[in-house]
Structure 1
């Protein structure tokens, strides 16, 4: 059994620059080549225990150690740090760098060279990160259409960005690359969306040529009592559309869902329930079911 050397407290949990740790006398280069440390990026290491628990935030911490002056963590990585999620640990970290800087490529880094005024950069737990507004602007114009809407919805849902402010911000940058995509994304964005899969379900419906449903619609009975809130709805036709995530399988949640579903049916609502499989693997079938419900209720 290999015994790992004693780990300095300063290096136990977070990535660090090898040269800085060596200069501080915390480790030696020979120790860094041993089993206690995991290289992440050029001259960036982390303790093996921390590496096993590493999420995308850990990789952002590692990448930030290589940020040159004037650069910032951006794109989906910044969205992750602002609480939007959307990125797995294995995804490259997006770094936004001034155009004059040309770093060496690395498979764990996605380099975006762009204008980055100081007002577009914030400090988040010590990291230089594009502001929520700049982050939303960047993902809206650079990602594929569906992924861009999902990301913008997530940032809007965190209420650190508002759609009017994002529209105004974009208006002042009309000559930036990707503006046609951004305008399309802003027209589809929905601040009330509560999960990425709800965004995907809404887009699936709209892309099928069906009317855009209302997000997070509150439903009341004839006595004014709140029966529930539908993820998506066509109020005029009394159609509720629900995305059912895995959390709906928990016993207490399942019981609540059954009670709410019965109450909505008693109030004259047709409820359609869809899963990730319906949205991701059978979008055409899902759209047909929504279309059929609309025809029934017209």
Structure 2
């Protein structure tokens, strides 16, 4: 796999070991030489999202914001922005030619919301919640909590008004530091939109031991797994997961497994499955609604 694609699978931030599960040392070294992958530290690689945005912000006398700011803070996300995202004061005028190749967000940013020309962690989470789709914003908020860049108490203390306030409150309510990665966060966002209340990494006692599935609905006795070779270090780890799934079924849990491609690229299918899961059990009917791949 191309190193950039491998890095994207991990949300734009990954260790050397994580990348070598998906690509080769030679390909990774070549990507670093070309600048399509940046070695941020000895064991950490990132895509050049933040670096490109800082250059664009400097050119426009603006501020790095949204997903570009999230990348600067080292957070994993659903997808990188196709263009640098830069906040510019709405009272300024910028010719269209100067804005080419940049997503300009017209919004004021106070000095105390800035850290070296980038929106600070809490402001970045709020802006993403206001301006991005729910699944993207939730993945970013989860990553901010997971890395310790923001604390749960900070999110609980936020009071927002104006356009997009409801969207912000929803993201801040559901943000969860236990989420393992953007893959899991996006799947959880789709569950929430489908009316399924799920918890990440919740302990389930199987008698012979306790497991921690990716997402758990105790009310429905349903487990949902974000399942991909990307997140299995070895075949042995994958075999252990398969054994765990079988035990869950034996103990009366329904287990649903989704690939990275389905969750990130084929959400219509995932939403259809989740709609069936959310229906009362006595009303469920098998068949129809989706073709089984050949």
What TM-score, normalized to structure 1?
Answer: 0.67
Counterpart pick for 2:166 among 180, 202, 209? 180
**SS of the residue aligned with 2:59?**
coil
Cα offsets for 1:233-267 (capped at 9, x unmatched): 12344322111123256423212212322343454
Post-superposition offset of 1:81: 1.4
Post-superposition offset of 1:78: 0.4
1:204-223 aligned at under 5 Å gives the runs: 204-209=190-195, 211-222=196-207
> Who is 2:286 aligned against?
none
**SS of the residue aligned with 2:212?**
strand
> Who is 2:277 aligned against?
290
> Who is 1:160 aligned against?
149
Q: 1:205 and 1:87 mapped to 2: Cα distance?
A: 16
> Who is 1:242 aligned against?
225
More strand as a share of residues: 1
Cα offsets for 1:90-113 (capped at 9, x unmatched): 721111233444334333222223
CA RMSD of aligned residues (A): 3.1
Distance of aligned partners of 1:61 and 1:242 in 2 relative to their CA distance in 1, 3 Å threshold: same
Q: 1:119 and 1:90 mapped to 2: Cα distance?
A: 25
Aligned length: 237
> Who is 2:44 aligned against?
none
> Who is 2:238 aligned against?
254
- Structure 2: 5+ residue runs without aligned partners? 1-31, 38-46, 283-294
**SS of the residue aligned with 1:230?**
coil
Q: 1:90 and 1:145 mapped to 2: Cα distance?
A: 15
1:126-137 aligned at under 5 Å gives the runs: 128-137=117-126
Give structure 1 regions of 4+ aligned residues with deviation exceeding 6 angstroms. Answer: none
> Who is 2:11 aligned against?
none
Distance of aligned partners of 1:107 and 1:244 in 2 relative to their CA distance in 1, 3 Å threshold: farther
- Structure 1: 5+ residue runs without aligned partners? 1-47
What TM-score, normalized to structure 2?
Answer: 0.68
> Who is 1:232 aligned against?
215
> Who is 1:276 aligned against?
260
Alignment check: 8 A CA contact 1:92 1:107 kept: no
Post-superposition offset of 1:51: 4.5
Counterpart pick for 1:114 among 82, 90, 107? 107
Query: In terms of Rg, which structure is larger?
Result: 1
Post-superposition offset of 1:295: 1.7
